[in-house]
């Protein structure tokens, strides 16, 4: 396998699920040629949410932000996806847009489906509802895929593009 072929985690957060955006978001990844190798609808418990939002987020953004994220992630169902493709980590993050929805460009998932700002959420003492999570880098991608998927839940297969280009 090419060193450029990567696997990354994407979570469609409770706001995406509640708003019925699952299909529209998945479609964007498939249209871009990325391959879904793991997919499930789950209700996260607190232990898994704390493992996902580890102490690094508390160090970078504060324990209150970690708590907001954990509470939000456990507030409703989440769609967990393992996505594979050429430079998948960077490509998925570009497709998602910046973490702060108000700064996300139109055409990105956050830019098209959310709009709140950090300032608004800080004033309201609430989590930033930004539809989606995508792994930040290779280290986090490996760790997060392992948190959300058992090895036997990840499927290896060839897309029609892979079959016809080899």
Maximum pairwise Cα distance, the chain:
54
For the question of residue 52 being annotated catalytic, the response is no
- Give ∠ CA 43-48-51 in degrees, rounded to 5: 150
- How many beta carbons lie within 10 A of that of residue 123, not counting itself? 9
Which two structure tokens, joined as six digits, stand for 131?
A: 């539809």
Phi and psi dihedrals of 10, rounded to 5? Answer: -130, 135
- In angstroms, rounded to a whole number, what is the distance separating the alpha carbons of residues 127 and 145? 23
Choose the catalytic residue: 64, 133, 161, 164. 133
Question: Quick one: which H or E segment has residue 80?
Answer: strand 78-86
Enzyme catalytic residues: 133
């Amino acid at each position: 396998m090419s060193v450029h072929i990567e696997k990354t985690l994407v979570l469609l957060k409770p706001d995406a699920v509640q708003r019925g955006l699952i299909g529209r978001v998945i479609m964007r990844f498939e249209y871009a040629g990325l391959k879904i190798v793991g997919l499930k609808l789950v209700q996260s418990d607190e232990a898994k949410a704390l493992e996902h939002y580890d102490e690094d987020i508390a160090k970078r953004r504060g324990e209150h932000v970690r708590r907001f994220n954990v509470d939000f992630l456990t507030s409703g169902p989440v769609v967990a996806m393992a996505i594979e493709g050429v430079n998948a980590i960077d490509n998925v993050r570009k497709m998602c847009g910046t973490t702060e929805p108000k700064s996300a460009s139109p055409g990105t998932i956050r830019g098209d489906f959310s709009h709140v700002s950090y300032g608004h959420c800080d004033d309201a003492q609430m989590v930033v509802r930004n539809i989606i999570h995508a792994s930040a880098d290779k280290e986090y991608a490996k760790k997060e895929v392992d948190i959300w998927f058992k090895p036997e839940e990840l499927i290896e297969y060839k897309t029609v593009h892979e079959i016809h280009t080899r």
